[in-house]
Amino acid sequence: MKKVNLTCIECPIGCDITVEIDGEKVLSVQGNACQRGKLYVSNEVVCPVRVLTTTVKTQNGKMLPVKSNKPIKKADIFVAMEKINGVVAKTPIKIGERVIADIFDGVDIIACADVE
The CATH class for the domain spanning 53-111 reads alpha beta
Digitized pLDDT (tens) for each residue of the chain, 116 residues in all = 899 999 999 999 999 999 999 988 999 999 999 999 999 999 999 999 999 999 999 999 999 999 999 999 999 999 999 999 999 999 999 999 999 999 988 999 999 999 99
Residue 3 is predicted with a pLDDT of: 94
Cross-strand bridge partners of residue 20: 3, 28
Q: So where are the chain's domains?
A: 2-46, 53-111
Q: What is the pLDDT of residue 1?
A: 86
pTM of the model: 0.80
